[in-house]
Amino acid sequence: LSNISSLNHRLNALISVRSPESVLTRVSDVVASSEPKTGIAGKLFAFKDNFCTVDQPTTCASQMLQGYVSPFEATVITRLHNHAHAIDVGRANMDEFAMGTDNIFTVYGPTLNPLYSSPHSAGGSSGGSAVAVAAGMCHFALGSDTGGSVRLPAAYCGVVGFKPSYGLVSRHGVIAFAQSLDTVGIFAKDVPTVREVLSVISAHDPLDPTSISTTLRQQLKDATARRRESGNGKYRIGIPLEFIVDSCSPEITNAWSAVLKKLQAQGHELYSVSLPTIKSALPTYYIISPSEAASNLSRYDGVRYGYRAIVDREANGVLYGVTRSEGFGSEVRRRILLGNYNLSSGAFHNHYLQAQKVRRKMQLDFDRVFVVDHPLEEPIDRDDDRPNVDFLVTPCSTGTAPLLSDVLSQKSPLDAYINDVLTVPASLAGIPAISVPWHTDHGDVVGIQVMGQYGDDDRVLDFSEIIM
Ligand code: GLN
C-alpha cells in the first residue's frame, strides 16, 4: 500500500485506488475468518479497467464509458473476492478498449515502466496491471490478452504474464474487444502465484458460452497427471523458424539463445520446427480482431448507455456519428473503420474469409508440431519425419521497452502493430502462452515466451518455472 502511495502518481498504473483503511479492514477480516483459506486469501490484486464491477465505474480507459457503472460483476472478480478472499486495491490503466501495445491510448494518460528512471513504455494494452505488479503495489493482477496484451507488458516490465487456453477462464463481464481471441490473463512476480490464481479463476461458467465444460476440464486434468507421471522432467523443445524475425534486436536474440543453451545443458532436447502459416499471423490478426471489434463496439451508440454527445442537428449532424467521433479515441476509430471495411461486401471474401482460412491452417500447424493431440479435435496424421515437441520457446517481444517519446512520435500505426508479431500466433490458435522474465548479463530484462498445446496449461507453467 505504501508503494501505491509513493509510486502511483508517477507511474500512473492504477486509475482508481481503494482507501488503505478499507483494504486493511478487509485484510483483518480475512485473517480473522475461520473459513478454509486458499493460497491467495488476503493477497492484494489489481485488475484492468475492462473488468466490470458493480461498485465503481468500468471505463475501458475511454471517454465513451466515463461514469459507466455495470449492473453485474465479472465472474473472475467475484471468484477472487468470494471464493478466494483476495482483496482488490484498484483498477488498472490500459489502452482504450484494449487496443494498443504501449499503454498510450488512454484517457488517463500513459502508464510508465517502473524498471527505468526515464519514461519508457510499460507495454500494453494491460500496462497498468503489469506495472502494478512490477512496482510491488499488489501481489498479482488481471489483464486481458487478445493478441499479446498480457505477455507484452509482462515482458517489458520484467514480470510473469500468462495467457491461458481460450475458454479456460470465464470472459463474462470482461468488456469484449475481439471475442474469439479475448482471454483473461494473470500477472505475478512468480509462477506459483500465477498457478494459485489460475486455480481460482479457471472454472466452468454457464454465463460464458465459450467456457469449456466441467467434463473436459476433468479430462485435461487427468491427461496432465498422466503426462507428469510418465515424464522424466526432460522436455522436447521446439524452436520455430518463423519466429526468427529481422526486427528482433540483438539483446532479444542473445537472450533467446542463452535460454536455449541453458535448457540444453539441463538435458532438454531442442528441435528446430516450422509452422509456415505463422508468416501470415500478423495480417490475419489485424483482419479478424478489428472485424470483431467493429461489431462489438457498435453497441456504443449514445442511446443505451455510455457517452452521449450534445448534438445540434442543424450544425453537426446526427447523434450516432458525433457521439462516436467524440467518445472514441483515434486508435479505436481506426480499428472500427478497418473492421467495417473488412466486413463490407466488397472486402469480405478477400479479407475476412481468407483470414479465417489462414487461422484454421495455423491451428493445424500448431497441432502438427505438438506431441500431444488437441483435446477438441480428431487426432491428426503426423508426418513422422517432423519432430514433435512439448513446448515452443521464443522471445515475446522484438525489443526491450522502448522510450515513451519514441512510441509517442511513431509516424504510422503499423510501427506498433509489428510488435505483436511474436504474440498473435498463440492467440489465433487459442493455445496457452506465457512470458517469463530472463535477466541478461548486460542488466536487461527480456520476456521469453513458452507456448504449449491447447489445454496443456499446467505443464506450460511447470516448464516456465524451469526457465526462471
Ligand atoms: N497489441 C494488440 C492490439 O493492439 C493486442 C491487444 C490485446 O491483446 N488486447 O490489438
Q: Which of 62, 70, 125, 165 is catalytic?
A: 125
Q: Please count the CA atoms within 13 angstroms of the CA of 372 that sit on its side-chain side.
A: 26
Q: What is the mean pLDDT of residues 222-242?
A: 95
Taking the centre of ligand 1 as the mean of its atom positions, its distance from the CA of residue 148, in whole angstroms, is 6
Eight-state DSSP code of residue 211: S
d(CA 425, CA 73): 30
Q: Does ligand 1 come within 6 angstroms of the Cβ of 183?
A: no
185, 150 in Cβ contact below 8 A? Answer: yes
58, 70 in Cβ contact below 8 A? Answer: yes
Whole-structure pTM value:
0.97
Give the model's confidence band at 387: pLDDT under 50 very low, under 70 low, under 90 confident, else very high. Answer: confident
Taking the centre of ligand 1 as the mean of its atom positions, its distance from the CA of residue 96, in whole angstroms, is 10
94-141 pLDDT, tens digit per residue, is 999 999 999 999 999 999 999 999 999 999 999 999 999 999 999 999
Query: Catalytic annotation on 125?
Result: yes
Which residue spans within 315-444 are E strands per DSSP? 391-395, 433-439
Q: Does ligand 1 come within 6 angstroms of the Cβ of 147?
A: yes
Q: What is the mean pLDDT of residues 58-64?
A: 98
Report the mean per-residue pLDDT for the chain.
Answer: 95
Taking the centre of ligand 1 as the mean of its atom positions, its distance from the CA of residue 333, in whole angstroms, is 15
Asked whether the CA dihedral 418, 422, 425, 426 is positive or negative, the reply is negative
193-207 pLDDT, tens digit per residue, is 999 999 999 999 999
Specify the residue for cell string 466490470.
52
Query: Catalytic annotation on 48?
Result: yes
Q: Does ligand 1 come within 6 angstroms of the Cβ of 400?
A: no
Probe ligand 1: pick from 297, 420, 428, max atoms within 8 Å of CB? 420
Phi, psi of 404 (to 5 degrees): -60, -40
Q: Which of 119, 146, 118, 115 is nearest to 130 (CA)?
A: 115
Give the model's confidence band at 65: pLDDT under 50 very low, under 70 low, under 90 confident, else very high. Answer: very high
Query: In 346-440, where does DSSP find H-type helix?
Result: 354-369, 404-408, 413-417, 424-429
117, 283, 375 from 123: Cα distances, Å: 16, 21, 33
421, 281 in Cβ contact below 8 A? Answer: yes
Q: What is the mean pLDDT of residues 55-77?
A: 97
Taking the centre of ligand 1 as the mean of its atom positions, its distance from the CA of residue 177, in whole angstroms, is 9
Q: What is the mean pLDDT of residues 311-337?
A: 89
